[in-house]
């Protein structure tokens, strides 16, 4: 298995700063902060370090959590849309 190089940039806790580019898209810049609540606030804000702290986790964990939350929210949205459709079909707004 390939060894993952540990750095703040590829840690699941690292949050990139974004800017709005001139073409209207959000792009991340090479700076951010650690979102881990175990890290003191004053040491969280930093550029990408080459040597991460002891709380480093692979970014894959965060991607999995985001995917699970997205699926949950999409299912709830589909349920809500179905409820709205039933209200419209019932003639409520006629």
pLDDT tens-digit series, residues 41-76: 656 666 555 677 888 888 887 778 889 999 999 999
DSSP-assigned beta bridge partners for residue 14: 34
Record the pTM: 0.52
Per the prediction, the chain carries an average pLDDT of 83
**Distance between CA atoms of residues 93 and 70, nearest Å:** 31
Closest residue by Cα to residue 34 from 56, 51, 63? 56
Residue linked to tokens 């974004």: 18
Give the domain ranges of the chain. 1-56, 58-94
């Amino acid at each position: 298995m390939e060894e993952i190089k540990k750095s703040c940039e590829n840690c699941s806790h690292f949050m990139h700063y974004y800017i709005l580019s001139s073409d209207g898209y959000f792009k991340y810049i090479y700076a951010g902060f650690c979102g881990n609540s175990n890290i003191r606030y004053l040491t969280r804000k930093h550029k990408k370090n080459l040597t991460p702290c002891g709380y480093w986790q692979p970014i894959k964990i965060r991607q999995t959590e985001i995917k699970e939350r997205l699926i949950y929210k999409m299912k709830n949205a589909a349920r809500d849309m179905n409820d709205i459709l039933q209200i419209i079909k019932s003639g409520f707004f006629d």
